[in-house]
Chain A
Amino acid sequence: MIGRRVALGALMTGFLGACSKVATSGPGASLLGAVERWNEATHRLITSRTALAREFDKADISPTFRGNGTTRPDAFDYAMQEAAGFANWRLAVTGLVERPLSLSLGQIKALPQRRQITRHDCVEGWSAIGEWAGPQLGPILRLAGLKPEAKFIVFRCADNFGGVPYYESVDLIDAFHPQTIVAHELNRAPLPIKNGAPLRMRIERQLGYKHAKYVTGIEAVASLADVGKGKGGYWEDSAGYQWYAGI
């Protein structure tokens, strides 16, 4: 029995060893990298660009909404903003746009609003349901006027994560998706700090880490190569998470 266990252990160790070798060596690593692109290509193929994430009823809302990642930004600036009730918060729209914008919270709330009760899925596996409200990102981008070479939208955030401000990005399909909103309300109250006060993104067909919180800037870029370390987001750059997080 012990012999068999040792043999099984040796087999498992060999298998794991082989796996870790595959993951770090050239072709294995590129195969692992390619699978993210197959997933994205398949999703784009079978999903309409405007297919909506399910919207739920009031009764489905979870009693609380978990805060994950940063639950309170530690920057002094943020504390000052909080003390002022976020009255001085600005959302900058910059990069490859014809008319750079700097929007106040008042201006953001004055734009046409979208209200949606959606499920938030974390990459770790949990889900929560909340009611969000805010303007759609698409009309804001049209207001600024995207230049033709703009291919991605980058979100800049006020929270420091591992020493760098959090950042994320999406392609134009998700940027102009009807449910992609700059939310300032959760469950009919101003966004709580743990959920991204005063502004956060909702990217409803992707996992939670794409939904940047504490958003201060929206930047249109032609390529993700110059954003962070080149993979388009904090978790993508720091821990190898998938840029396309639709799965």
Chain B
Amino acid sequence: MNFACLAILFMSGLTISNAHPRLYWGEWGFAPADAWLILPEFPGWMTIPGTYNLAEARLWHFLAAWPFALGLAIYLVVALARGHFREFVLRRSELRWSTVVADLRQHLRFDFTAHHGRFNLLQKFLYIAVLFIGLPLMIFTGLALSPAMDAAWPWLIDVFGGRQSARSVHFLIAWGLLGFLVLHVLAVLLSGPVGQIRDMITGGRSPAEKLT
């Protein structure tokens, strides 16, 4: 369900990008000379619908945005209430430069064996970034693109420094999230997919059990 929503959002988003494949900073922008980035046209196999139809792509985007936004809000509230995020909390000892470098080195060697808790350092950083920054920002930058929402909540424009900035951030984070997804799947595949998927479903074993 989540994955289907994200896939529809991303692919219909590429159709919307094709409608005006330029990104700007600030409030306004329409000409190539104003743009900081000129985008390629995304091919039909990447977009929803498969042939260019902006009106229909917008409906897909909104249709998937509702369950995505409500689902994320419910997930964050429930997880916070249950103390789910304690596992992501960064300990002071983990924030030492040497620890960070060691963790990154380990990842770059594709060595996923050492764990200090259920999640390692890079995992914690990325999950925090995705859950608390990336996904919520997609919702708020998306809302900032709506002229009616801007009238209702003018702070949306202030926070992002203008509608075209919000549009640029919306686009960049979408690709950032796709990048995260690719890394995430890659890491699962490289670290023993059967056990990992079992852990995702069952909640996994505690570190103590892992030691035995």
Q: Most B CB atoms within 10 A — which of A47, A62, A126, A128?
A: A126
Specify the chain B residue showing the minimal Cβ separation from A123: B54
Contact across chains for B30 and A66 when beta carbons are under 8 A apart: yes
Contact with B along A6-33 (1 / 0, CB 8 A): 0001001101100110010000000111
The SS class assigned to the B binding surface is helix
User: Which residues on the B side are within 8 Å of A204 (C-beta)?
Assistant: 147, 151
Contact across chains for B27 and A119 when beta carbons are under 8 A apart: yes
Contact across chains for B146 and A247 when beta carbons are under 8 A apart: yes
Check if A125 is an interface residue, CB within 8 A of chain B: yes
Contact with A along B1-35 (1 / 0, CB 8 A): 00000011000000011011010100111110000
A side interface size, CB within 8 A: 49
The distance in angstroms between the C-alpha atoms of A54 and B27, with both chains bound, is 11
A193 → chain B, closest Cβ, in Å?
18
Specify the chain B residue showing the minimal Cβ separation from A9: B45
B146 → chain A, closest Cβ, in Å?
4
The distance in angstroms between the C-alpha atoms of A84 and B97, with both chains bound, is 75
User: Which residues on the B side are within 8 Å of A36 (C-beta)?
Assistant: 59, 62
B66 → chain A, closest Cβ, in Å?
7
Contacts A31-B63, A127-B30 given; does A119 touch B163 at CB 8 Å: yes
Which residues of A127-166 are within 8 A (CB) of B?
127-129
User: Which residues on the B side are within 8 Å of A58 (C-beta)?
Assistant: none
Check if A2 is an interface residue, CB within 8 A of chain B: no
Q: Most B CB atoms within 10 A — which of A15, A127, A246?
A: A127
A229 → chain B, closest Cβ, in Å?
14
Check if A80 is an interface residue, CB within 8 A of chain B: no
Which residues of B162-208 are within 8 A (CB) of A?
163-164, 167
User: Which residues on the B side are within 8 Å of A31 (C-beta)?
Assistant: 63
Contact across chains for A35 and B48 when beta carbons are under 8 A apart: no
Stretch at the interface among A70-78, A99-107, A217-225, A234-242: A234-242
The distance in angstroms between the C-alpha atoms of A56 and B158, with both chains bound, is 12
The distance in angstroms between the C-alpha atoms of A121 and B147, with both chains bound, is 7
Check if B81 is an interface residue, CB within 8 A of chain A: no
A-B contact count (CB 8 A): 129
Contact across chains for B148 and A206 when beta carbons are under 8 A apart: yes
Contact across chains for B60 and A53 when beta carbons are under 8 A apart: no
Q: A128 is contacted by which of B30, B50, B66, B148 (Cβ under 8 Å)? A: B30
A32 → chain B, closest Cβ, in Å?
4
The distance in angstroms between the C-alpha atoms of A90 and B157, with both chains bound, is 38
User: Which residues on the A side are within 8 Å of B152 (C-beta)?
Assistant: 43, 46-48, 51
User: Which residues on the A side are within 8 Å of B8 (C-beta)?
Assistant: 19
Contact across chains for A19 and B29 when beta carbons are under 8 A apart: no
User: Which residues on the A side are within 8 Å of B41 (C-beta)?
Assistant: none
A43 → chain B, closest Cβ, in Å?
5
Q: A54 is contacted by which of B16, B28, B146, B157 (Cβ under 8 Å)? A: B157
Q: Assuming A43-B152, A54-B154, A126-B28, what are 18 further A-B pairs, CB within 8 angstroms?
A: A9-B45, A16-B45, A32-B56, A32-B59, A35-B62, A51-B151, A54-B150, A56-B27, A60-B28, A124-B19, A125-B20, A125-B167, A127-B28, A205-B147, A239-B54, A241-B58, A242-B55, A246-B146
Closest 5 CB pairs of A and B: A246-B148, A125-B20, A126-B30, A47-B152, A247-B146
A-to-B contact residues, CB < 8 Å:
9, 12-13, 15-16, 19-20, 23, 31-33, 35-36, 38-39, 43, 46-48, 51-54, 56, 60, 62, 64, 66, 119, 121-129, 204-207, 235, 239-242, 246-247
30 CB contacts below 8 A, A to B, read A9-B45, A13-B45, A19-B8, A19-B48, A19-B50, A32-B59, A33-B59, A36-B62, A38-B66, A43-B152, A47-B151, A54-B154, A66-B30, A66-B31, A119-B27, A121-B147, A122-B20, A123-B54, A123-B58, A125-B16, A126-B30, A126-B164, A127-B27, A127-B28, A242-B55, A242-B58, A242-B59, A246-B148, A247-B62, A247-B145
